[in-house]
């Protein structure tokens, strides 16, 4: 099958980019012809090494640039002749829709950021992939017919991005509590800070590490700097690969207020962290509905503090939740994501088109 992915860029530190790159490389490795049209970025060298073709497509949201991008995409599609087009963001779907209509190609879209109002534009696809059951329900409520919706839960284990990665745990002061993610309000970091304060009142040796960058980084640094526990918190900043920090951590906390299907959870589970996550969006699904991680209500520092204490007070309980993080972990592989996505392509008509092309 010839598969064309479209996304706004290929830079690191964006979950939808990681998911699309993982999928494209896995598809290429399994024998398909794969290309990515994007604004380019950090992963282009990796894509080239994996044999995934790349072409530049400007996603700037201005009329003139969008017209130029439509022309460029139409030209590339006519020359490369994909069997299916897979758009991963709203601008990508808007660009792909008319080109697919003119070319008679099936368009598949993936809803990565269901919390955005513009996510309804992903309904332009012949088939719409939701990255969790929670996202599928959200899109159904927005009017996308169930017959056009499919669910493919995110997973990263086995990704080409991680081959040859450093698996040496970072030496952290124990007990160590870790957050990995963007510094945005929807990630709920103030709740984690307040929950950490509750736990540290009883465990003054506890340490909190914050990995990630974003527009609110300086705000959160200032917030923590005024707190009595400031010396126990380390802001690491953005990292290309936070996995060694997960390997070195005892507990990972994800206090999100909205999170469709965060990739960090499959990585943290692979690393063997005990995990605390909020009961929002796809987080429960990635934690086996509470069997592989402790679930707490969102916007509840008290619940986060109590969950931390349940682990810090009892080393055996901490060890048990680290063990439980491995429950059904084989379901979080990129191979499973690839196979289920290919099935969506076939349901959209790509298999028939590919078969006709093979006969010609």
With respect to residue 210, please indicate whether it lies within any of the assigned structural domains. Answer: yes
With respect to residue 145, please indicate whether it lies within any of the assigned structural domains. Answer: yes
- Do 88 and 202 fall into the same domain? no
- Do 128 and 191 fall into the same domain? no
With respect to residue 222, please indicate whether it lies within any of the assigned structural domains. Answer: yes
Phi-psi region of 122 (alpha: psi -120 to 50; beta: other; left: phi over 0): alpha
Q: In what order do the strands lie in the sheet with 33-38?
A: 53-56, 33-38, 2-6, 84-87, 107-111, 127-130, 149-151
Whole-angstrom distance, CA of residue 257 vs CA of residue 299: 7
Instruction: Return the bridge partners of 294, or none.
Output: 276
Confidence at residue 12, expressed as pLDDT on a 0 to 100 scale? 87
Confidence at residue 135, expressed as pLDDT on a 0 to 100 scale? 96
- Do 145 and 182 fall into the same domain? no
- Do 246 and 301 fall into the same domain? yes
| Location of structure tokens 């953005």 | 238
Confidence at residue 115, expressed as pLDDT on a 0 to 100 scale? 85
With respect to residue 165, please indicate whether it lies within any of the assigned structural domains. Answer: no
**Residues 6+ positions from 121 with CB-CB distance below 8 Å:** 90, 93, 94
- Do 181 and 309 fall into the same domain? yes
| Location of structure tokens 């692979």 | 270
Q: Say how many domains are in the chain.
A: 2
Q: What is the CATH number of the domain that holds 341?
A: 3.40.50.2000
Confidence at residue 178, expressed as pLDDT on a 0 to 100 scale? 98
With respect to residue 161, please indicate whether it lies within any of the assigned structural domains. Answer: no
**Residues 6+ positions from 74 with CB-CB distance below 8 Å:** 99, 102, 103
User: Are 189 and 182 contacting, i.e. CB atoms less than 8 angstroms apart?
Assistant: no
Q: Which two tokens stand for residue 159?
A: 């990704």
Whole-angstrom distance, CA of residue 313 vs CA of residue 64: 60
Confidence at residue 127, expressed as pLDDT on a 0 to 100 scale? 98
With respect to residue 300, please indicate whether it lies within any of the assigned structural domains. Answer: yes
Residue ranges of the chain whose pLDDT lies below 70? 351-360
| CA dihedral (345, 346, 352, 355) positive or negative | positive
Confidence at residue 351, expressed as pLDDT on a 0 to 100 scale? 67
**Residues 6+ positions from 125 with CB-CB distance below 8 Å:** 87, 93, 107, 108, 109, 148, 348
With respect to residue 171, please indicate whether it lies within any of the assigned structural domains. Answer: no
Query: What is the separation, in whole angstroms, between the first and last Cα of the chain?
Result: 14
Domain around 6? 2-155+333-359
- Do 95 and 227 fall into the same domain? no
Confidence at residue 355, expressed as pLDDT on a 0 to 100 scale? 44
Radius of gyration over every alpha carbon of the chain, rounded to an integer in angstroms:
21
- Do 308 and 191 fall into the same domain? yes
Residue 228 dihedral angles phi and psi, to the nearest 5°: -65, -15
- Do 83 and 121 fall into the same domain? yes
- Do 86 and 224 fall into the same domain? no
- Do 316 and 273 fall into the same domain? yes
Residue 251 dihedral angles phi and psi, to the nearest 5°: -135, 135
| Stated pTM of the model | 0.93
Residue 54 dihedral angles phi and psi, to the nearest 5°: -125, 145
- Do 119 and 247 fall into the same domain? no
With respect to residue 66, please indicate whether it lies within any of the assigned structural domains. Answer: yes
- Do 138 and 223 fall into the same domain? no
């Amino acid at each position: 099958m010839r598969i064309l992915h479209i996304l706004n860029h290929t830079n690191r530190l964006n979950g939808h980019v990681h998911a699309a790159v993982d999928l494209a490389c896995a598809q290429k490795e399994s024998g398909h012809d794969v290309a990515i049209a994007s604004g380019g970025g950090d992963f282009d060298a990796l894509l080239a090494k994996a044999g995934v073709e790349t072409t530049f497509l400007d996603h700037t949201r201005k009329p003139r640039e969008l017209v130029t991008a439509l022309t460029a995409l139409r030209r590339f599609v006519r020359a490369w002749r994909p069997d299916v087009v897979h758009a991963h963001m709203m601008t990508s779907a808007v660009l792909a829709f008319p080109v697919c209509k003119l070319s008679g190609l099936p368009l598949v879209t993936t809803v990565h950021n269901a919390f955005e109002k513009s996510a309804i534009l992903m309904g332009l696809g012949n088939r719409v992939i939701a990255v969790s059951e929670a996202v599928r329900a959200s899109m159904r409520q927005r009017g996308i017919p169930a017959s056009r919706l499919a669910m493919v839960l995110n997973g990263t284990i086995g990704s080409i991005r991680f081959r040859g990665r450093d698996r040496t745990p970072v030496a952290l002061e124990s007990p160590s509590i870790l957050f990995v993610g963007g510094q945005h309000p929807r990630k709920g970091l103030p709740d984690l800070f307040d929950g950490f304060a509750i736990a540290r009142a009883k465990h003054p040796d506890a340490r909190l590490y914050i990995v990630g960058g974003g527009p609110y980084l300086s705000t959160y640094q200032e917030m923590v700097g005024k707190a009595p526990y400031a010396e126990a918190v380390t802001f690491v900043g953005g990292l290309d690969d936070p996995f060694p920090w997960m390997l070195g951590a005892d507990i990972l906390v994800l206090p999100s207020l909205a999170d469709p299907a965060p990739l960090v959870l499959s990585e943290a589970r692979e690393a063997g962290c005990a995990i605390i996550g909020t009961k929002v969006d796809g987080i429960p699904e990635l934690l086996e509905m509470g069997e592989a991680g402790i679930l707490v209500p969102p916007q509840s520092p008290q619940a986060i503090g109590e969950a931390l204490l349940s682990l810090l007070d009892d080393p055996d309980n901490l060890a048990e939740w680290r063990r439980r993080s491995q429950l059904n972990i084989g379901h979080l592989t990129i191979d499973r994501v690839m196979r289920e996505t290919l099935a969506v392509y076939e349901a959209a008509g790509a298999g028939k088109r590919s078969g006709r092309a093979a006969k010609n």
